[in-house]
Structure 1
Amino acid sequence: MNILLKSAKIICPENGSLHLKKRDILIKKGIIEKISTSIEVNSNTKCIDYKNLHISLGWIDSSVSFGEPGFEERETIENGLDVAARSGFSDILLNPNTNPLPDTSSDIVFLKERAKNSTTNLHPLGCLTINSEGKDLAELFDMKNAGAVAYYDFKKQISNPNILKIALLYAESFDGLIFSYPQNGDIAGKGIVHEGEVSTALGLKAIPALAEELQISRDLFILEYTGGKLHIPTISTANSVKLIANAKKRGLDVSCSVAVHNLIFTDESLKEFDTNFKVSPPLRSKSDCKALIKGLKDGIVDFVTSDHIPIAIEEKMVEFDNAVDGSIGLESAFGSLNHILGLEKTISLLTKGRERFGLGQTAIKEGEKACITLFDPDDENVFMEKQILSNTKNSMFLGSRLKGKVYGTINNDKLLIQ
């Protein structure tokens, strides 16, 4: 496929010669052939000449769930990757949130095969322990050879500290990355929302910030002992940011992420008992939101994720206590971040992670593979259900004001646009 991007404004801070410049970009057979102020082409080339067209390197999301296999009513791999591409993401890390769970090399091969020929690259996360039960390590090395980029018992604490110790020591031998969900289950108990005035007023069982911070403290002590690489997904409290900042100062190889919704919404949003706001970790306080945003700006929090989790309507249209945790977020991620952080910081965050997750580097320059996201950063809109491309509609962003519109993604010699 031959594509010409006309008068595209390039957002690429790491390339000073092109950053904030308007250029025509000619792509042939998936490779950037020419970048110039003006390029003329023949009729065999598809011309993209959109209003206020901006481009950047393809975006990465480090926490995405679909459903297939086992929960296809939530989302299939095919449609999920279509949603990701139309939402601007060239690469997603797929959570082990299926049935059966991916804890062997053959499971990873299945996921990779199902994602073949897609615009968006699917990078599977394998389970850390067999069936994510926290008892015995899964086939980490074999899964790596099959294509797993890291290991994670999705949204489950590693209860046994010795499991984390052994995993970090073992994975270090092949540069493996271990995810550890930041929640102490004994402290969290049967809590479902943040512990504070709102939980008391609503009479809902609460999860104190201590549950997250205690687990992170333990994990960082183990990391200091073992060495290796640790990633802490979706932190949610101010003290978590401080703990990770101190660990980085001590030279520990630790990274962390935050979900977009934990930057924007607080536990005040729970007052209507809307189950779309029931997520894990829970929505925290306004001061936690501010600390997380500051942590991103200061570089302490490494990545931002949509933490996209499709949930079927019958699992959400129940009493708040019984609803399944999760909100979709791929479609609203860019507009939400751009609204609170501004364009350059948003793009910087959405394009981070290739080195950490071993995805391979790319660049906007002649001779390089075209891995590009297309968008208009100035389009202001209210997020409506008609903008949701996912099979399920469980989004807490419905009715939110967004800034920015995604046109689509060019990757793997494919163009997928809305």
Structure 2
Amino acid sequence: MSNLLIKNGRVVDPSQQMDDTLDVLILDGKVSAIQSGIDASPGVRVVDAAGCIVTPGWVDMHTHLRDPGFSHKETIASGALAAAAGGFTSIACMANTKPVNDNPFVTSYIYQKASSCDVNVYAIGAITKGLEGKQLAEIGSMFEAGIVGISDDGATVQDSYIMRKALDYSRKFDLVVISHAECTCLKGLGVMNEGVNSTRFGLRGNPKAAEEVIVARDILLAELTGARLHIAHVSTAGSVRLLREAKAKGIKVTGEATPHHLILTDDAVGNYDTNTKVAPPLREQVDVDALIEGVKDGTIDALATDHAPHSVTEKEVEYDLAAFGMVGLEIALPFYYRLHLEKGVPLSRIVEAMTTAPAKILGIPKGSLKPGADGDVSIFDPKSEYRIDKTTFKSKSRNTPFDGYKVQGKVRFTVTGGKVIYSASEETR
């Protein structure tokens, strides 16, 4: 644990309805005070955050760390370094590893590996054994080992009975069930959004209905069981509408959106860059607009990267054969911040979607700078402009279509437990 004084920054903390120029004092790893004019004491490191925005540490509730089993793409250690460089203090990793995190032994392995990392790493367990959708995983045992949610992300639980049982059982532990919503029967061999562009580009399409059918089904099952449901990587206007209607009825459902679904449309697929191949696919402008409106009004609760690292050999192939996914931890901030700069989303709503909301969904004690809270802080310069350079990534993978993009908003410091775990100034020395 460390002592730290962050001075002169604009502190934005939705958990306290706070937006003001203040100092933040962290003692013994916990927030001690937030007020103006705090003087430094001996043994306390001082960070000058003048001109920067200071927020609770960011929480990414949807990452793939590929460990165990796929360490050529990412490890827990490299993923944690990427998270810190991207401003994230807490991340949750999905269960599609090898072996799958469907039992307490894999869960314990993840936490053992994460114990040496500066970023807080949380494990999400599988819904079904082997992600096969046939039999429930060892949910109770994994809960005892520390999982914060269950998901077959990367695959969809196609069997409605199994999904109902998962939702029923999750209530015993108050675990959120995270749904990867794609009906395989409708998706077929689709590799991009079904529409005019899939015809133009000569690629097989994945219709919006493939997502919306599962979203609708799972909302009905959440209503039936009273369990907590979360829809991962929402990508269509129809899904946003379904979420909005479900929330109005009092159903316990939340949703998230990714940077790529908020920024890109299926036009980006036209150059056949396989880094644009994601699941669910990039959609149309009407869907992007609906997602942004959903973030603005809170229908979309959280922002999540779906950080999905892949090796060069898995991406430098024909579009049909390439792996789904792109990295996101190190470049999410400027795209989230763009929603404020260009789309009128209040900064407090963006910060809430990166902190308080995902922490609440996962049930973890993060996302606030209230006195007594963990001293996890993210600090960024809202005016800094630069170009994304994938060669600087801490991640072991470089699969991004955003290389060379000019963006605004740069992480300056990442702090966990009062310890500075990333400093942009030290990176440039």
TM-score bucket of the superposed structures, by smaller chain: over 0.9
Q: Which residue of 2 aligns with 1:127?
A: 126
Q: Which residue of 1 aligns with 2:187?
A: 188
Contact 1:334–1:346 at 8 Å: present in 2 too?
Answer: no
Shift of 1:10: 0.6
For 1:361 and 1:338, locate their aligned partners in 2 and report how far apart those are by CA, in whole Å: 21
Contact 2:52–2:380 at 8 Å: present in 1 too?
Answer: yes
Once the two structures are superposed, residues 90-141 of structure 1 have per-residue CA deviations (whole angstroms, 9 ceiling, x without a partner) of 1111011211111001111111111114322111111111111111000111
Q: Which residue of 2 aligns with 1:5?
A: 6
Once the two structures are superposed, residues 209-246 of structure 1 have per-residue CA deviations (whole angstroms, 9 ceiling, x without a partner) of 11111111222222222221111111111111111111
Contact 1:119–1:412 at 8 Å: present in 2 too?
Answer: no
Alignment root-mean-square deviation, CA: 1.7
Q: Which residue of 1 aligns with 2:404?
A: 399
Shift of 1:68: 1.4
* Distance of aligned partners of 1:283 and 1:141 in 2 relative to their CA distance in 1, 3 Å threshold: same
1:26 has 2:25 as partner: yes
Shift of 1:292: 0.8
Amino acid at match of 1:4: L
- Determine which of 350, 359, 369 is the counterpart of 2:354: 350
Once the two structures are superposed, residues 340-398 of structure 1 have per-residue CA deviations (whole angstroms, 9 ceiling, x without a partner) of 23433321211122222110255324443311111111212222224422111111221
* Distance of aligned partners of 1:170 and 1:364 in 2 relative to their CA distance in 1, 3 Å threshold: closer
For 1:43 and 1:361, locate their aligned partners in 2 and report how far apart those are by CA, in whole Å: 28
Contact 1:87–1:408 at 8 Å: present in 2 too?
Answer: no
Q: Which residue of 2 aligns with 1:327?
A: 326
Secondary structure (helix, strand or coil) at the match of 1:282 reads coil
Q: Which aligned segments of 4 or more residues in structure 1 are displaced greater than 4 angstroms?
A: none
TM-score (norm 1): 0.95
Identity of matched residues, %: 33
Amino acid at match of 1:118: C
Between stretches 156-165 and 339-348, larger displacement belongs to 339-348
Q: Which residue of 2 aligns with 1:336?
A: 335
Shift of 1:413: 4.1
Matches within 5 A, 1:9-408: 9-16=10-17, 19-41=18-40, 44-50=43-49, 52-342=51-341, 343-351=347-355, 352-361=357-366, 363-408=368-413
Once the two structures are superposed, residues 311-332 of structure 1 have per-residue CA deviations (whole angstroms, 9 ceiling, x without a partner) of 0111111111111011011111
* Distance of aligned partners of 1:52 and 1:206 in 2 relative to their CA distance in 1, 3 Å threshold: same
Gap runs ≥5 in structure 2: 342-346, 425-429
* Distance of aligned partners of 1:218 and 1:363 in 2 relative to their CA distance in 1, 3 Å threshold: closer
Contact 1:51–1:376 at 8 Å: present in 2 too?
Answer: no
Give the number of equivalent residue pairs: 416
Q: Which residue of 1 aligns with 2:427?
A: none
Contact 1:118–1:412 at 8 Å: present in 2 too?
Answer: no
Amino acid at match of 1:3: L
Between stretches 250-259 and 386-395, larger displacement belongs to 386-395
Contact 2:192–2:277 at 8 Å: present in 1 too?
Answer: yes
Between stretches 134-143 and 344-353, larger displacement belongs to 344-353
Gap runs ≥5 in structure 1: none
Contact 1:60–1:89 at 8 Å: present in 2 too?
Answer: yes
Secondary structure (helix, strand or coil) at the match of 1:78 reads helix
TM-score (norm 2): 0.93
Contact 2:265–2:284 at 8 Å: present in 1 too?
Answer: yes
Shift of 1:8: 1.9
